[in-house]
């Protein structure tokens, strides 16, 4: 191995040219340049610490020592098992960014506790599929993927920090098997027609009959002077009325594409081909349906594989479909509840596996076709968002733009950018919003403070709380960290896979996340490059950080440039050592989607 020492007045740049090992014992790059800690770096470290402390306080306020949520455990679309663990939204991601190890420990306690709690919790015989436990095989017995995703968002990201956990690996495979025909007790998938057979599905299989308001609302419950429901219902009758039109659930729906995240997670364990094969098979079937339906994703696929097959041939039919507009029982107003855009999660998963633009293009065409239906009202262009028996409706001044940001993020094509609504983060990456990092970090710090103030003032008791009541105080605030540190997309509660340009690992402590005192700032990104700053805020001790290309090492670094000096990398990760108080700007050239994604840490590959 040859060591090359490059010296300049401002820094010393060491690189080792080695053909075999992306992670040697010595660092690939050493940065010695002193840099007074910039404000953004100090804010990042403070935000990581504040988040961790807030999560700790939240856990001890709302969970017991078993990890059970202190609430009235019940089944329903208003509240239920998915809401219980959603209280820990972003916690695994927060740890993977570099927060204290206790964040991961508390999340895992909450996860295990809520599995036991809602396996023990049962409905009456009115809701037979949950009368022997709301969870079965540690998975919801039956529900839709709008709700499945809310509960699985935290679990599916556990692998970012804890990929070798035995229970995690067992569950990842079991959950994926529920949708791949591997569990005869859960015949959710029809391989002949390539459909998930119902909007409502789970560990006890699909619901093939019409759903009722009781199926969605759960058992009767006292509300007045006790609970404040998230949808605003004032009594149980209004809860039933809220869901009275949620009937047509048989057949496939785009939101079921989120189930591909389970297969992707399973694939990233050991690259077993069956998971990739099933994922692409299912997404490709939906891609064909978009072509067959004039570039618009249909919202119902019949049990025979026909578009609109369970909704009288209407491609826009079904619960959460293009024509799903319902009456709000409290005031009689109309609510448009079209969730077809959630299906893009499956296409993003396919793109992560292949880097093939064919998984983005149908959604570009859908956006363009919908916005082409605009009309002029009172001198203003308005655009539709729904489709019913009389054609397009729900016209507003806002263009239809679901998934436009994600399309541009993955393609990095200039012609995809005009579809994206105004976005302060993108403006910053394009050199138009220099103050964005500090503003965004301060806003998230302020959010943490307000959330903790709220939970400290909360006077509720466990018997007056439902599973989703504590959500309004959930403190983890990480959007600025994901965008600025990783160049990534914030997951939200219906995205189960991380998409980012950079990730960091602490080789000294053998864990995911930036080492203590280190901060990172992604400044620009293009299709084949990223520029970012790396700073050690500690003035007394050096730090070493491993930098990975992509959330799951799916990208490859080709070279790294510091100042005037460039070294070849040729792999998905490399190591940087930062002297006390040192910092520098690196420009990384890369090939995106060059490797099968993996959960394995850099030093284990």
Percent of the chain whose pLDDT exceeds 70: 96
pLDDT digits (tens, 9 = 90+) for 394-435: 999 999 999 999 999 999 999 999 999 999 999 999 999 999
d(CA 568, CA 559): 4
Are 338 and 299 a contacting pair, CB within 8 Å? yes
The CA-CA-CA angle for residues 150, 153, 159, to 5°, reads 160
pLDDT digits (tens, 9 = 90+) for 80-109: 899 999 999 999 999 999 999 999 999 999
pLDDT digits (tens, 9 = 90+) for 473-504: 999 999 999 999 999 998 777 779 999 999 99
Tell me, what's the pLDDT at 9? 31
- 445 within a domain of the structure (yes/no): no
Are 382 and 396 a contacting pair, CB within 8 Å? yes
Q: State the DSSP code for 491.
A: -
Task: Name the maximum alpha-carbon separation found in the chain.
Answer: 77
- 585 within a domain of the structure (yes/no): yes
HEC profile of 135-193:
EECCEECCECHHHHHHHHHHHHCHHHCCCCCHHHHHHHHHHHHCCCCCCCCCCCEECCC
Parallel, antiparallel or unpaired: strands 556-562 and 2-7: unpaired
Are 548 and 556 a contacting pair, CB within 8 Å? no
pLDDT digits (tens, 9 = 90+) for 215-232: 999 999 999 999 988 888
- 594 within a domain of the structure (yes/no): yes
- 518 within a domain of the structure (yes/no): yes
d(CA 502, CA 227): 43
Q: How many domains are contained in the chain?
A: 1
Query: What is the residue range of 547's domain?
Result: 2-32+501-599
- 514 within a domain of the structure (yes/no): yes
Tell me, what's the pLDDT at 25? 52
pLDDT of residue 267 exceeding 70: yes
Average pLDDT, the chain: 94
pLDDT digits (tens, 9 = 90+) for 111-155: 999 999 999 999 999 999 999 999 999 999 999 999 999 989 999
- 550 within a domain of the structure (yes/no): yes
- 291 within a domain of the structure (yes/no): no
**Which residues share a beta bridge with 520?**
534
pLDDT of residue 17 exceeding 70: no
Instruction: Give me the mean pLDDT over the 12-29 stretch.
Output: 49
Q: Residue 532's domain is classified under what CATH number?
A: 2.60.40.1180
List all residues 6 or more positions away from 13 whose beta carbon is below 8 Å from its beta carbon.
Answer: 6, 7, 29, 30, 31, 562, 563, 565, 567
* Residue 88 phi, psi dihedral angles, 5° rounding: -100, 25
- 131 within a domain of the structure (yes/no): no
d(CA 223, CA 330): 14
d(CA 23, CA 44): 26
Quote the strand ranges of 337-423, DSSP E.
Answer: 375-377, 380-382, 386-388, 391-393
pLDDT of residue 7 exceeding 90: no
Axis-axis angle for helices 273-292, 361-371 (nearest 10): 30
Tell me, what's the pLDDT at 142? 97
């Amino acid at each position: 191995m040859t060591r090359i020492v490059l010296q300049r007045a401002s820094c010393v740049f060491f690189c080792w040219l080695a053909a075999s090992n992306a992670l040697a014992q010595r660092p690939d790059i050493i940065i010695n340049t002193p840099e007074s800690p910039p404000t953004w770096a100090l804010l990042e470290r403070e935000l990581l610490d504040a988040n961790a402390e807030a999560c700790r306080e939240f856990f001890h306020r709302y969970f017991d020592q078993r990890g059970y949520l202190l609430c009235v455990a019940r089944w329903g679309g208003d509240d239920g098992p998915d809401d219980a663990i959603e209280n820990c939204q972003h916690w695994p991601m927060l740890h993977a960014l570099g927060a204290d190890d206790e964040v991961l420990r508390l999340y895992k306690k909450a996860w295990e506790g809520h599995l036991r709690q809602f396996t023990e919790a049962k409905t009456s015989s009115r809701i037979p599929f949950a009368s022997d436990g709301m969870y079965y095989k540690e998975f919801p017995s039956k529900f839709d993927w709008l709700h499945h995703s809310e509960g699985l968002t935290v679990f599916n990201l556990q692998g970012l920090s804890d990929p070798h956990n035995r229970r995690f690996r067992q569950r990842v495979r079991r959950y994926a098997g529920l949708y791949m025909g591997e569990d005869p007790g859960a015949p959710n998938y029809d391989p002949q027609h390539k459909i998930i057979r119902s909007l409502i599905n789970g560990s006890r299989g699909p619901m093939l009959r019409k759903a009722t308001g009781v199926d969605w609302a759960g058992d009767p419950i006292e509300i007045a002077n006790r609970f404040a429901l998230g949808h605003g219902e004032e009594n149980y009758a209004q809860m039933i009325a809220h869901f009275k039109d949620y009937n047509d659930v048989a057949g496939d729906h785009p939101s079921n594409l989120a189930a591909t995240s389970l297969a992707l997670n399973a694939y990233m364990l050991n690259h077993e081909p069956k998971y990739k094969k099933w994922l692409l098979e299912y997404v490709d079937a939906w891609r064909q349906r978009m072509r067959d339906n004039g570039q618009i994703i249909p919202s119902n696929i019949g049990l025979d594989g026909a578009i609109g097959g369970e909704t009288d041939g209407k491609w826009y039919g079904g619960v959460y479909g293009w024509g799903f507009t319902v009456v709000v029982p409290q005031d009689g107003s109309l609510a448009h509840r079209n969730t077809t855009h959630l299906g893009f999660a499956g296409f993003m998963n396919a793109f992560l596996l292949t880097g093939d633009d064919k998984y983005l293009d149908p959604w570009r065409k859908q956006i363009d076709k919908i916005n082409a239906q605009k009309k002029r009202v009172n001198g203003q262009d308005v655009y539709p968002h729904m489709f019913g028996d009389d054609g397009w409706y729900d016209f507003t001044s806002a263009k239809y733009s679901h998934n436009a940001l994600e399309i541009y993020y993955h393609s990095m094509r200039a012609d995809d950018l005009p579809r994206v609504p105004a976005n302060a983060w993108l403006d910053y990456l394009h050199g138009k919003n220099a103050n964005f990092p500090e503003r965004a970090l301060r806003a998230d710090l302020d959010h943490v403070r307000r959330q903790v103030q709220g939970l400290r003032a909360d006077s509720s008791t466990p018997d007056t709380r439902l599973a989703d009541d504590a959500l309004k105080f959930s403190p983890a605030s990480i959007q600025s960290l994901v965008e600025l540190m990783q160049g990534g997309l914030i997951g939200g509660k219906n995205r189960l896979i991380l998409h980012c340009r950079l990730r960091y690992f602490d080789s000294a402590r053998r864990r995911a996340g930036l080492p203590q005192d280190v901060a990172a700032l992604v400044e620009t990104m293009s299709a084949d490059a990223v520029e970012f700053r790396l700073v050690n805020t500690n003035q007394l001790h050096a730090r070493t950080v491993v930098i990975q290309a992509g959330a799951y090492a799916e990208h490859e670094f080709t070279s790294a440039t510091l100042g005037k000096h460039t070294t070849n990398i040729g792999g998905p990760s490399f190591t940087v050592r930062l002297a006390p108080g040192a910092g520098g700007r690196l420009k990384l050239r890369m090939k995106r989607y060059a490797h099968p994604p993996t959960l394995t840490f850099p030093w284990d590959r």
